[in-house]
Amino acid sequence: MTAPISSSERAAAGARSAAGTEDGPPPVRFAYDLPTWKEITHLLANLPMSLIGFVYVVTVLSTGAGLAVTVVGLPLLAAGLTGSRQLGRLERARVRSLLGTAIEEPSPLPLARTKGPLSRLWLMLKDPVAWRAALYELIRLPWGILTFAVTLTSLFVLWPVLPYLARGMTNVDRAMARALLSPSDELERRIAELESDRGVVVDTAAADLRRIERDLHDGAQARLVNLAMGLGLAKEKLLEDPDSAAAMVEEAHGEVKLALQELRDLARGIHPAVLTDRGLDAALSSVASRCTVPVKVTADLDRRPAAAIEGIAYFTVSELLQNISKHSGARSASVDVWRSEDRLLIQVWDDGRGGARLDGGTGMRGLADRLDAVDGLFVVESPPGGPTTVTAELPWRDRAAVNDR
């Protein structure tokens, strides 16, 4: 017969039960988070995706390469490479969505800028993005089989360590995708630079056209209109009041001189005749003579550069000397131009107050963009209090070689 349990024993048992509950392990839960499940999904999808890609590449590209000796072979190969490019796009999207790895899209082929079907076909055949995507699909099949088998087996047998296995295998997938599906860094950087430079050149040309139109409309055109009106009034007064007519003609003569001077300045701003006829040294000496600050010009060039480079160099110095006249408060300045191997170097110095910056609103940013558009450099050293040294560097292209073409 069991002895009755006293109230004290019952309290002690309750305390032991409560203590045992607090000290025991937490309830079992499936400790897989969302990124882990995405990685597992990616690994399980490797097999069907790699099968599709492998079969496509082997079938289409091998058929196109085998028929390359026929008329339809090369177009078929080009079409197959276009499809390979699309498979690469699909794989990049899968890596971004499931593995969280950002892989940029390569630039599209510039088919619109090619001339003729043969050029377009050749551009498609040598597409490095498509060939790297095809290589990616070829080497992915054994890896896809391995990752599928390991992941599926681990879901039932090794599930406690599956997150670690999934992370290791998807790291290999990330490295493979970056190596073969990413755009070429140098090529893409160069393409982006050229597209940006083309935009800068177009914007600069449009701004120059607007400036020329504004100068013609507000300057010479207005003076010529006043001249026509003055001559018309002089014609009416020629018989009635010859003295007033003579005064009007004299005034019109002054307007003609001013209009001609404005047209000369405008033509000099477009492309000065002295630059075409006598070269950079004489043109820079001419623009320096109009500066309000004494300027010493030194040009050490054994030959003339290409016309485009010569024009950019002239307008760069002209703009810098205008800035010196308007903003620097300098007492003296100098311009040095020389050639160093395949570069044309320009250095403009003044002893003004300094503080010039590329974002200072004095046209420096526009000069830097214009030089950057032709693979040039533009460096400003202008501490507060001065002096200011601006160094510009342009690629040297020989005028004779350009003219021969």
DSSP string for residues in 179-239? HHHSPPHHHHHHHHHHHHHHHHHHHHHHHHHHHHHHHIIIIIHHHHHHHHHHHHHHHHHTT
- Distance in angstroms (rounded) separating the CA atoms of residues 216 and 214: 5
Numbers of helices and strands, H then E, in the chain: 15, 5
What does the pLDDT read at residue 262? 62
The answer to whether the peptide bond before residue 387 is cis (omega within 30 degrees of 0) is: yes
DSSP code of residue 281: H
Contact 37, 139 (CB under 8 A): no
Q: In Å, what is the CA distance from 131 to each residue of 75, 80, 85, 220? A: 15, 10, 8, 60
The label of the residue with tokens 């963009």 reads: 369
Half-sphere exposure (Cβ direction) of 303: Cα atoms closer than 13 Å: 12
Angle at 84 (CA atoms; ends 82, 89), nearest 5 degrees: 100
Give the residue from 291, 292, 284 showing the smallest Cα distance to 316: 284
Model pTM?
Answer: 0.44
One digit per residue, the tens of pLDDT, for the chain of length 405 reads 444 444 444 444 444 444 444 444 444 344 567 888 888 889 999 899 989 989 998 888 888 877 877 777 788 888 888 888 888 889 998 998 888 888 878 877 777 666 778 888 888 888 888 888 888 988 888 999 999 999 888 888 888 888 888 888 989 999 888 888 887 655 555 555 555 555 555 555 555 556 566 656 556 666 677 767 777 777 777 677 777 777 777 777 776 766 666 666 555 555 566 777 777 888 888 888 888 888 888 888 888 888 778 888 888 888 888 888 887 788 888 889 898 888 888 899 888 888 877 765 556 777 777 777 777 888 888 888 878 888 888 888 777 644 444
The label of the residue with tokens 């499809």 reads: 83
Contact 191, 107 (CB under 8 A): yes
Half-sphere exposure (Cβ direction) of 41: Cα atoms closer than 13 Å: 13
- Distance in angstroms (rounded) separating the CA atoms of residues 299 and 350: 17
The label of the residue with tokens 């007064």 reads: 237
Structure tokens at 12: 């002690």
For residues 143-177, one letter each, b for 16 or more C-beta atoms within 10 angstroms of the residue's C-beta and e for the rest, the string is: bbeebbebbeebeeeeeeebbebbeebbeebbebb
Q: What is the pLDDT of residues 353-403, one digit of tens each?
A: 888 777 655 567 777 777 777 778 888 888 888 788 888 888 887 776 444
What does the pLDDT read at residue 220? 61
